[in-house]
Structure 1
Amino acid sequence: MKKCVFLIVVILLSFSITYAGNFGVGVVVGEPTGLSFRLWQNKTQAFDFGVAWSLNANVLHLFADVVTHNYGVFRPTSGSMPFYYGVGVRVLSAESTNFGIRIPLGIVYIPKGTNLDFFFELVPTLELVPQTTLDVDGSFGFRYYF
């Protein structure tokens, strides 16, 4: 499993060379806590990826989302702060493997003139395998863009 996580991180970091300025790497803190990656496709669409660890349950989280940004909800005096929403998948790996559908809802602050963003999100997740349950994760973090 450690080799698989390492391989995923290396592949995602390689995006930073191919997509200069559009690929962010950072830290997500909360439930779960780990690494956050964002690859912007254009001004409103992005792919989010994560490799994280649940501190409460000793579970590895792997997730990927497609998110859309709405810049009209919040209007800071400097920078931008879009509300984002999307859909994605989550795989939990522990004694058994769980699979679920994620609905990320968040706010990202992008300071003007920097290569950083700061975010907060709540993510309702419908677990489908091995049983159907509803879960909600919450976290905040930051990313640096290459």
Structure 2
Amino acid sequence: MRLLITLLIGTLPLLAQAQSYSHTPPSQTGLGGVIGNPSGLTLKVYGTDRSSFTAYDFLLAYDLDRFFFFNLHGLYERPLPDSPLNYFLGPGVLLGVRERPRDDNEMVLGLSANIGINFFAERFEVFLQLTPRLHLLPGTEGDLGGGIGLRYYFGGR
């Protein structure tokens, strides 16, 4: 997994030289993947009002602790001054199943947040995020996730 992250980070300078940047996504819907803890598939959908940069981020993920879950975040996104980067943050919820080797699997329900930076190059979004999570059911437990990801945006505005 470290090798994949190193390769992805290594491609960022090449993307920087070959692509033009924008603070806005090229379309409303992007699909991609995230590598880290957790790793999974991600879908980001922007609202129709371009000035608000309001987006919803969906994540279907599996972490190394045998935890399969769905995460939904409402994101507030704005450009960083004098930079091709945006920052984003927002609250979310998660619903998951933790696999237990000898016991029954347990359902997990909790709250989360998503904090990170991103940039757009042509039809791609590259992002780095941290995701603190608070599991409320079946018991209270805190967790910190995060990763690096890439999304491809379909169509145009």
Which TM-score bucket, shorter chain as reference? 0.7 to 0.9
CA shift, 1:74, in A, is 4.8
Q: Could you state the TM-score of these two structures normalised by the residue count of structure 1?
A: 0.77
**Match of residue 46, structure 2, among 13, 21, 40:** 40
Structure 2 residue ranges without an equivalent (≥5):
1-25, 99-104
Query: What is the RMSD of the two structures over their aligned residues, measured on CA atoms?
Result: 1.5
Structure 1 residue ranges without an equivalent (≥5):
1-19
* 1:93 aligns to 2:103 (yes or no): no
CA shift, 1:121, in A, is 0.4
| Greater C-alpha Rg | 2
Name 1:16's counterpart in structure 2: none
Q: 1:142 to 1:134 in 2, by over 3 A?
A: same
* 1:75 aligns to 2:82 (yes or no): yes
Runs of 4 or more off by more than 3 Å in structure 1?
none
Aligned partners of 1:50 and 1:64 also within 8 Å: yes
Give the Cα separation in 1 of the matches to 2:120 and 2:135.
31
Aligned partners of 1:84 and 1:107 also within 8 Å: yes
CA shift, 1:127, in A, is 1.1
Give the Cα separation in 1 of the matches to 2:81 and 2:117.
9
Name 1:135's counterpart in structure 2: 143
Give identity over the alignment, percent: 26
* 1:105 aligns to 2:115 (yes or no): yes
- The one of the two structures with greater contact order (alpha-carbon pairs below 8 A, sep at least 6) is 2
Q: Could you state the TM-score of these two structures normalised by the residue count of structure 2?
A: 0.72
Aligned partners of 1:74 and 1:83 also within 8 Å: no
**Match of residue 73, structure 2, among 48, 62, 65:** 65
1:95-118 per-residue CA deviation (whole Å, 9 max, x = no partner) reads: 10111111110101112xx11100
